[in-house]
Amino acid sequence: MPSLLVINPNTSSAVSALLQSHVQQTIGKAAEVRTLTARFGAAYIASEASYAVAQHAVLDAWAVALSKAPRPDAVLIGCFGDPGLFALREGAGVPVGSLAQAAFAAGAAHGRFAVVTGGERWGPMLSRLAGALGHGHTLAGIHTVVPSGAELAADPQGARQLLAQACQDAAQRFDAQAVVLGGAGLAGIAADIEGALAVPLIDSVQAGAQWALQRLHQARDTVAGPDRFGVAWENLSWEMGALP
């Protein structure tokens, strides 16, 4: 059976459990899903500094995964912001996807899309990421709410009311053809509030899982490339030191 590795770049086991549940539900019996939580870093990524540390944590989690099990057939980075995406793609040798990358593509399929997420500092960070992923012209705008994803997840009912209004506002303000609700901790909320919108509402975790399912089907007919980073690591974990 194919295998999918989901890497949670923050240290929250609750977010990991949410990712495991929602991704496995979408993947079904098509693959075995295993979620790893970052061994270090922030419980919630909400700044440039925590994002930078999360990029290291993603590579470390990949190294830990290889030290314990055979190389998976695909990897999904479970953070709306995609820390470590380009670095892991460089040497993993298997398809590597992420929540924002998948959700942006799903949104762009409808035309110009808006993004709603928690945490005010994510605005410029996601704008920069959209440009790097080739969605600079299809991203209509970003609307951040003050509570972080972790704070929203702690108050589900309040979060649904706040996010429903935020998504409506974003669609109207940016004249968007779709809205992306981004955040690993917000998995499942889009399905509860999508009826309040006149345009499609995309769940970033669902989009990431759908990306993984498609790539796992394609992997049956392809051969994985060599896993090679070509870096002589110093003073890092022994697992990273063992990476080729």
* Tens digits of residue pLDDT in 184-210: 999 999 999 999 999 999 999 999 999
d(CA 100, CA 97): 9
Identify whether the C-beta of residue 196 lies closer than 8 Å to the C-beta of residue 27: no
Please name which of 83, 100, 70 lies closest in space to residue 207, comparing C-alpha atoms. Answer: 100
Task: Look up residue 151 and give its two tokens.
Answer: 């704070």
Res. 25: pLDDT tops 80: yes
Alpha helices in 186-243 (DSSP H): 189-193, 204-219, 238-241
Residue 148: predicted pLDDT: 76
Residue with token string 């669902």? 206
| Tokens at 210, concatenated | 């759908």
Average pLDDT of the segment spanning 228-232: 87
- At residue 239 the predicted structure's pLDDT band, cuts being 50, 70 and 90, is very high
Instruction: Domains for the chain: give ranges and CATH numbers.
Output: 3-98+208-241 (3.40.50.12500), 100-204 (3.40.50.12500)
For 154-166, b where at least 16 C-beta lie within 10 A, e where not — what string?
eeeeebbebbbeb
Share of the chain above pLDDT 70, in %: 97
Asked whether the predicted pLDDT for residue 221 surpasses 60, the reply is: no
pTM: 0.94
In terms of pLDDT, which residue wins out, 155 or 85? 85
Summary count for the chain: helices (H), strands (E) = 10, 8
| Burial (0-12, 13-18, 19+ Cβ within 10 Å), 99 | buried
32 burial level (CB within 10 Å; 0-12, 13-18, 19+):
middle
